[in-house]
Structure 1
Amino acid sequence: MTWIFQAVPTFFLVAGWATAVSWTRRRTDAGLSRQAWLRHRVARVLGPSAAYVVLVSAVVVLLQIAHVASSTLEYAGWAIAMHLWFLGVYLVVVSLTPIAVAAQRRWGLLVPAVSAVILVAVDVALRLGLISHMGWLNYLLCWGVLYQLGIAWRNGLLTGPRPVLLAVGSAAVLALLIWQGLYPVSMIGVPGQAVQNTSPPSAAMLAFGCAQAGLVIALAPALNRLLRGSAVQRVLTLANSNVMALYLWHMIPVVLVAIIGYPAGLLPQPPEGTAAWWLARLEWVFVLGLVTAAELALLWWGRRLFAAPLPTFSAVPGRWAEPATLVGAASAAYGLAYLAAAGFAPDGNFPWLAAATFAAGVLLVALAPSRAAIPTS
């Protein structure tokens, strides 16, 4: 069941394809330098992210001042921050796009293949206890492989039977790993499970992601034909322009309903698996749907804030612009990764250092060279 809801591999695959398109067209279509292109891409992520982090941080600080129970604040702060890991990884792979594209042109599919081998080596070393603090590397390796496959797809390296072979071969590896009992079936984190496929991403997650990627690439021509209608294109364009805000804010309804509904006794908790439990799940989904609809309306109303790219201003000499952007992206990625791991209120306290690290990164990205061409789209 969790396989249906695990769509992160597709996100990174498509992101790699789209970013490769943007990178190769940067000069012919927009006349952008490398640093201007990089700032533009990073700013599109950090604008909505900064709005989310600032507003959530303000609420958490106010709740801490109001002496809300530390356990409640810690859990809620973790729940609304755990999805930020995606943005941290995404910032890193986007920043490495010029290198990734160049490597792809020189070594082709050997690039994701070598990355996959390194991931497996790290995964095995982690499971054997040979290393203990390198799990974060597999976040970059696993999702970097999918991102690299997206670039390969854009460059025409995954044509003909290759997508099907990728899907079938990866699915066979995944089935073998699960059948041997080396990894759990679930592709979403399950609390209390000894071995997780997601944190950090395991060899099984990589196999699952590659199988999903092969399937998506194989089905892409048929999907493109289905999505050619003008009405569908308008909907997709609208969704694409607000997708970052939607991703950032999608956990807020869950937390609001949980911290209000459960303590107040509005959401019953019958024995798991019973008919009453399933009815309670339907009630939960219905209430979440209502709250989410209200949130979507607010996000649409405030889209100039919640979905806008990070504004930039001229403040640094041209030669320092690209280093500032790269350091800023790395700093922001670290801040987001820390928040995703610890939450907005670890031990009931707001993490000021992590917030400052993120803020410093955002500020560095916003510093444009005095004569840089900043795109408007």
Structure 2
Amino acid sequence: MGFSARDLAAATPATRDRYVDLLRVASLAVVVLGHWLMAAVTPDGQVGNLLAVVPGLQVLTWALQVMPVFFFVGGFSHALAHRSRPRYAEFLRARLQRLLRPTMVFIGVWGALALVLQLLGADGGLTGVALRLVTQPLWFIGIYLAMVAFTPPLLRLHGRYGWGAFAGLAAGAVAVDALRFAAGVPYVEFLNFALVWLAVHQLGFLRADGMIRRPALLAGAGLLGAVALVAFGPYPLSMVGMPGEKVSNMAPPTLALLCHGLWLVGAVELLKGPGARFTARARVWRGVVAANGIAMTAFLWHLTAMLGVYGALLALGVRLPEPATAGWWAQVPLRIAAAALLTGLLVAVFRRFESPVPPGPATAAGGPSPASGRGDSPPASLAALGITLALLGVLGLSMTGFGGLLEGHTATLIAIRVSAPVAVAMTVAGWVLVEGTTFRRSR
């Protein structure tokens, strides 16, 4: 049985934090818009990065790199969800169903398409670029899976130490960067994929318990820290990855990105009052509910839509202007409108795999809603193995892409070489283990 946005909005309890839902939708929307703007496709079909063409625009990433806000919202969501579902396996399945189902469909569709294209020899040019690029946003899914997996133990640490648990993760991130840049220890930087993002996630626990009482101090300290690190340290200006750079603030995450996350979290907390009043409007809340119901599907398919627009233009013989020229900027609104339209069409096709349920008091805002199905949960050990396989598979696929399937193309995941088929197999196996043995839909 499906539920309309109006039904879901009407079923919202008064205790729900609607501002958190708004932050979830808004942060993903900014990420999507940023990807569309940064794509700089040349007249011969090569895909570059606008921030590399116009380095002066990199300062905009200090406002537009909002993934920390999404992970902060995820921490808030997971804290509430785990307290209503303390069993590990049940918590995992409830958190991940709306995340993994649309992801598995995306992987299946693109995997089959990539194989057909390569068998037909049609995987060159922009098509080949697309096969490599469309899976890149899956890194976010992998990190989010890790956050779900670590929620129970980190929530216990939060309950015991409060801000001390966050400080421990932040101190770990400081130590990693010191070992990386001062001592030259190899591979240690990859630890910050966990430490930096889990520290931001931990801030969501603090918000859930009303412990962020001085957001202005948090924002100011984060902003000053980020400015100092970029000005005097080995950190680049851009808060997103740049092609060819020796040091990236994103991959792996750095202490500068953690400070950036602090200032963003403080900033959105300062806007909590106006945001709550805004989402209290019935029409606005219906829009937020509707957008939350398709947010993950839109995120998964937005690069497909963007590359589809560029591919159609090239196929029709439309000569693309050189990136960052006056003609290129003049086309930006039209290209974004076309990408939004195509994304909407893809969402209409695949949204059924991201079905929302009526929000209740235990439904945590800002993350995938608890599943509407009930059934026997798998043992906690199998659930833990399942989420580990799924997150490694998704991260691996984000790095390999779907190009070169028949040639056995591989990429390095931390220190291990993985191929797309192996990554897909791990993701499927993990998903099956998390789902458990039985499942029935409840109305």
Partner of 2:431: 362
**Could you report, residue by residue, the CA deviation over 1:232-291 in whole angstroms, capped at 9, with x for unpaired residues?**
111111111111111111111222233443476524233x55xxx133233244134224
RMSD (Å), alpha carbons: 2.6
Is the 2:130–2:304 Cα contact (8 Å) retained in structure 1? no
Equivalenced residues, count = 360
Equivalent of residue 321 in structure 2, options 251, 265, 269 = 269
Partner of 2:386: 328
Change in Cα spacing, 1:296 to 1:342, as seen in structure 2 (3 Å) is same
Change in Cα spacing, 1:257 to 1:298, as seen in structure 2 (3 Å) is closer
Whichever residue aligns with residue 289 of structure 1, its letter is A
Equivalent of residue 15 in structure 1, options 61, 74, 95 = 74
**Residues 1:300 and 2:345 aligned together:** no
Partners of 2:82 and 2:285 in 1: CA distance: 23
Is the 2:394–2:427 Cα contact (8 Å) retained in structure 1? yes
Is the 2:62–2:238 Cα contact (8 Å) retained in structure 1? yes
Partner of 2:119: 65
Partners of 2:404 and 2:195 in 1: CA distance: 27
Is the 1:328–1:362 Cα contact (8 Å) retained in structure 2? yes
- The aligned runs of 1:56-205 (5 Å cut-off) are 56-69=110-123, 74-128=128-182, 130-159=184-213, 161=214, 163-205=215-257
**Could you report, residue by residue, the CA deviation over 1:327-376 in whole angstroms, capped at 9, with x for unpaired residues?**
111111101101112212257657211111111111112224x6x8x785
Aligned residue for 2:390, secondary structure, equals: helix
Partner of 2:303: 251
Give 1:65 deviation, angstroms.
Answer: 0.9
Partners of 1:39 and 1:327 in 2: CA distance: 13
Aligned residue for 2:188, secondary structure, equals: coil
Equivalent of residue 343 in structure 1, options 388, 391, 401 = 401
Give 1:87 deviation, angstroms.
Answer: 0.6
Whichever residue aligns with residue 166 of structure 2, its letter is P
Determine which structure has the larger helix proportion and give its number. 1
Is the 1:10–1:209 Cα contact (8 Å) retained in structure 2? yes
Aligned residue for 2:348, secondary structure, equals: helix
Give 1:19 deviation, angstroms.
Answer: 1.6
Partners of 1:252 and 1:344 in 2: CA distance: 13
Partners of 1:51 and 1:217 in 2: CA distance: 35
**Residues 1:286 and 2:334 aligned together:** yes
Give 1:60 deviation, angstroms.
Answer: 0.7
Give 1:110 deviation, angstroms.
Answer: 1.0
Give 1:294 deviation, angstroms.
Answer: 3.0
Whichever residue aligns with residue 341 of structure 2, its letter is A
**Could you report, residue by residue, the CA deviation over 1:32-54 in whole angstroms, capped at 9, with x for unpaired residues?**
74422221112221111111111
**Could you report, residue by residue, the CA deviation over 1:140-190 in whole angstroms, capped at 9, with x for unpaired residues?**
21111111000111112212x2x2111111111111112215312111112
Equivalent of residue 24 in structure 1, options 83, 86, 101 = 83
Partner of 2:50: none
Give 1:133 deviation, angstroms.
Answer: 2.4
With 54-63 and 285-294 compared, the bigger mean Cα shift is at 285-294
Partners of 1:16 and 1:259 in 2: CA distance: 38
Equivalent of residue 267 in structure 2, options 207, 212, 215 = 215
With 139-148 and 16-25 compared, the bigger mean Cα shift is at 16-25
Partner of 1:29: none
Partners of 1:266 and 1:178 in 2: CA distance: 41
Give 1:81 deviation, angstroms.
Answer: 0.8
Equivalent of residue 422 in structure 2, options 353, 356, 373 = 353
Aligned residue for 1:147, secondary structure, equals: helix
Partners of 1:114 and 1:364 in 2: CA distance: 32
Whichever residue aligns with residue 299 of structure 1, its letter is V
TM-score w.r.t. the length of structure 2 is 0.75
Aligned residue for 2:219, secondary structure, equals: helix
Give 1:90 deviation, angstroms.
Answer: 0.4
Unpaired segments of 5 or more residues in structure 1?
Answer: 27-31
With 258-267 and 85-94 compared, the bigger mean Cα shift is at 258-267
Change in Cα spacing, 1:23 to 1:219, as seen in structure 2 (3 Å) is same
Whichever residue aligns with residue 98 of structure 2, its letter is R
Partners of 1:254 and 1:322 in 2: CA distance: 40
